[in-house]
Amino acid sequence: MDVVFIQGLKIDTVIGIYDWEREIRQDIVLDIEMSADIKTASKTDHIDQTLDYKAVSKRLIEFVSSSEFQLVETLAERVTEIILNEFGVERVKLTLNKGEAVTGAQGVGVIIERSVNG
């Protein structure tokens, strides 16, 4: 299976468990790898035959920017559910980086892999 990816998708949202985090917007960054068969698209050279990464990005920006989860784990799970359920992807690997949430760290977050088979 081939991979279509989106790297460094920055979205501002409300995320966190502390009171001060509930009152501000923070950037999270998504790196996404999605399984896709691109053979047909490579033969037809037509967007309808492939996984449209722009459509995926727009949908995730819409969802994440309006969400207000406390945990990055919950947000990551919901993002992968959207990709799997709405875009016909069989497998997705998502890195969700909350940035400098821990003093001294360049980034913190989660990496999850999900598939339609569990």
Query: Which residues participate in catalysis according to the annotation?
Result: 98
Three-state secondary structure string covering the chain:
CEEEEEEEEEEEECCCCCHHHHCCCEEEEEEEEEEECCHHHHHHCCHHHCCCHHHHHHHHHHHHHHCCCCCHHHHHHHHHHHHHHHCCCCEEEEEEECCCCCCCCCCCEEEEEEECCC
